[in-house]
């Protein structure tokens, strides 16, 4: 009995049949991230490859992914990424993650060596930062200056005009500071103090109601 090898027609997304195999992982540069099928895939260029061509559409690995849930963070065009290949086949790349290099700097350098900070910074400059230092804090900041800061002792909300709202858990104080008008509105508004209640105004204090009772 004789055996003969029969070549299989393996379909590819690029139509390139020669393919090739790669052992281990490789680095690549993102060339496209507008997936026509909306699957969050990217196309890649391999700097080490002897032919200047794009890859097939590559899926991007995420910490969690499922039906209408999970992470959605697609690499930017020009980002350097680490890639593996399904069954080692060059035609089926999967992006495992991104890496910084000498050209693209990190948003945090860990210059003190303590490695206390974990930072997510968007392309526009919005930041989500976790600080595990002695005081500890979580900060959500927009590039224009608006931010929410939570630390061991307080919660502070600040805008780019200097208005802020602060809850100080160590002293029990709550502070609201407005550079313009401050309005409290509700069906019923009650102000009560177990100690002293101070009401101060500049040139004018106005009270208006159908009935004003002072006891």
CATH of the domain at 89: 2.40.50.230
Mark whether 87 and 127 lie in a shared domain.
no
CB 199 within 8 A of CB 191: no
pLDDT, position 114: 92
Give, for all 215 residues of the chain, the pLDDT tens digit.
444 433 344 434 433 345 678 888 999 999 999 999 999 999 999 998 877 789 999 999 999 999 999 999 999 999 999 999 999 998 999 999 999 998 888 888 889 999 999 999 999 999 999 999 988 999 999 999 999 999 999 999 999 998 999 999 989 999 999 999 999 999 998 989 999 999 899 899 888 888 888 87
Greatest Cα pair distance in the chain: 112
Both tokens of 140, joined, read 């959500």
Both tokens of 84, joined, read 């593996």
3 state SS of 66: strand
pLDDT, position 18: 52
Rounded CA gap, 181 and 114, in Å? 44
CB 26 within 8 A of CB 83: yes
Of 64, 98, 132, the position where a domain reaches its end is: 98
Per DSSP, what are the bridge partners of residue 43? 32
Contacting residues for 134 by C-beta, under 8 A, at least 6 apart: none
pLDDT, position 56: 93
Which CATH number do you get for residue 150?
2.20.220
Mark whether 30 and 84 lie in a shared domain.
yes
Mark whether 83 and 122 lie in a shared domain.
no
Mark whether 85 and 137 lie in a shared domain.
no
- Host domain of residue 133: 117-177
Mark whether 36 and 80 lie in a shared domain.
yes
Question: Which of 138, 172, 136 minimizes the C-alpha distance to 157?
Answer: 138
The total number of structural domains in the chain stands at 2
Rounded CA gap, 58 and 39, in Å? 10
Share of the chain residues as helix, strand and coil, in percent rounded to the nearest 5: 0, 30, 65
Rounded CA gap, 64 and 28, in Å? 23
């Amino acid at each position: 009995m004789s055996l003969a090898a029969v070549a299989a027609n393996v379909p590819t997304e690029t139509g390139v049949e020669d393919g090739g195999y790669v052992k281990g992982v490789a680095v690549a540069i993102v060339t496209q991230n507008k997936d026509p099928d909306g699957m969050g895939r990217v196309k890649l260029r391999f700097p080490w490859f002897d032919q200047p061509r794009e890859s097939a559409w590559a899926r991007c690995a995420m910490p969690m992914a499922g039906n209408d849930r999970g992470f959605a963070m697609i690499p930017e065009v020009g980002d350097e990424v680490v890639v593996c290949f399904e069954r080692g086949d060059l035609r089926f790349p999967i992006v495992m993650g991104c890496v910084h290099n000498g050209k693209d700097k990190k948003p945090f350098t860990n210059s003190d060596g303590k490695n206390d900070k974990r930072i997510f910074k968007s392309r526009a400059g919005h930041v989500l930062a976790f600080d595990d230092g002695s005081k500890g804090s979580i900060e959500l900041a927009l590039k224009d200056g608006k931010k929410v800061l939570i630390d061991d002792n307080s919660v502070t909300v600040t805008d780019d005009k200097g208005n802020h709202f602060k809850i100080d858990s160590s002293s029990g104080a709550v502070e609201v500071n407005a550079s313009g008008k401050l309005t409290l509105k509700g069906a019923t508004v009650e102000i009560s103090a177990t100690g002293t209640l101070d009401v101060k105004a500049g040139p004018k204090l106005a009270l208006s109601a159908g009935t004003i009772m002072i006891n």
